[in-house]
């Protein structure tokens, strides 16, 4: 006789499925914010641990939830880091995999981006990171808890604010 799976077994399978489907994207989201692969992987671990602890991974919104949780957590880490110090955060692992000239250029871009993200309102920074990490308008709406029709406006305003912040930083 086949023994039916327990609730725990079903839940574990659902969690593993969400982890495998979303892990690379979640690390990508945190890397965009932090510019540090190692820190991003730690943030991803914490986001998935929070998902495991608090929610049933069988929910269709589990993937969006963990992406948003990672974006929020990464932005919080970024702001805390900036408060503590001004140290460079570019990942050594990332620098090893790209051309040194490109790495130097991107290190500069990374500093500018992180400074601007840290100054933007949390929701604006989150919507920027989620959308530019490849989440669809529908997925961003779910992750942010807003209507899908509002996402275009939120993205537009966030991109405009980002450009102004970068311009302001460059002029200082």
Partner 1 sequence: MRHLSDGALRRVHDDRFAGSNREREHLDRCDRCRQRARGVAADATFAATLLARPEAATASTDAALARLRQRITEGAQAGRALTTPPRVAVRRWAIGAVVVPVVAAGLVVSANAAGWLSIFSPTQVAPVALTVGDLSGLPDLSGYGHMHLSNVEPREVAGAAQAAAATGLKALRPVLPADVPTAVRWEVIGNGSATFTFDAATADAAAVRAGRAAPAIPAGLNGTTVTVTAGPAMVALYGGSSAASSDPLTSTPTLVIAESVRPAASTNGATLQQLEDFLVAQPGVSAQLAAEIRAIGNASSTLPIPVIAGLMTSQTISIDGVQGVVTGDSTGLGSAVIWEKNGVVYAVGGLLSQNEVLDIARSLR
- Site size toward partner 1 (CB under 8 A) is 79
Q: Closer CB to partner 1, residue 84 or residue 147?
A: 147
Phi, psi of 144 (to 5 degrees): -90, -10
Applying the rule CB under 8 A, the residues between 13 and 42 that interact with partner 1 are 16, 19-20, 23-24, 27-28, 31-32, 35, 37, 41
Smallest distance from partner 1 to CB 23, Å: 5
| 107, 115, 118, 150: which one binds partner 1 (CB under 8 A) | 150
Candidates 78, 120, 140, 151: give the one binding partner 1 (CB under 8 A).
151
Q: Which of 39, 64, 78, 140 binds partner 1 (CB under 8 A)?
A: 64
Complete DSSP assignment for the chain: -PPPPPHHHHHHHHHHHHHHHHHHHHHHHHHHHHS-HHHHHHHHHHHHHHHHHHS-TTSTTHHHHHHHHHHHHHHHHHHHHHHH-------HHHHHHS-HHHHHHHHHHHHHHHHHHHHS-HHHHHHHHHHTTT--HHHHHHHHTS-HHHHHHHHHHHHHHHHHHHHHHHH-
- In the complex, what is the shortest distance from the CB of residue 81 to partner 1, in angstroms, rounded to a whole number? 16
Asked if 89 interacts with partner 1 (CB under 8 A), we say no
Is residue 169 part of the contact set for partner 1 (CB under 8 A)? no
- The reply on whether position 80 binds partner 1 by CB under 8 A is no
Query: Nearer to partner 1 by C-beta: 61 or 86?
Result: 61
- The nearest distance, CB 38 to partner 1, in angstroms, is 9
Give 100's Cβ-side CA count (13 Å radius). Answer: 0
Binding of partner 1 by 140 (CB under 8 A) = no
């Amino acid at each position: 006789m086949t023994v039916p799976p327990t609730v725990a077994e079903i839940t574990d399978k659902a969690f593993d499925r969400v982890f495998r489907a979303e892990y690379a994207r979640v690390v990508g989201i945190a890397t965009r914010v932090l510019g540090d692969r190692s820190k991003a992987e730690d943030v991803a671990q914490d986001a998935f641990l929070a998902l495991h602890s608090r929610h049933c991974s069988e929910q269709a919104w589990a993937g969006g939830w963990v992406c948003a949780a990672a974006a929020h957590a990464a932005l919080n880490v970024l702001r805390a880091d900036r408060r503590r110090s001004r140290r460079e955060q570019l990942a050594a692992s990332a620098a090893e995999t790209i051309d040194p000239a490109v790495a130097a250029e991107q290190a500069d871009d990374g500093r500018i981006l992180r400074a601007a993200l840290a100054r933007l309102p949390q929701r604006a920074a989150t919507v920027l990171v989620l959308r530019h990490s490849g989440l669809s308008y529908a997925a961003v709406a779910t992750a942010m808890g807003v209507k899908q029709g509002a996402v275009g406006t939120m993205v537009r305003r966030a991109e405009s604010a980002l450009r102004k912040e970068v311009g302001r930083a460059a002029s200082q």
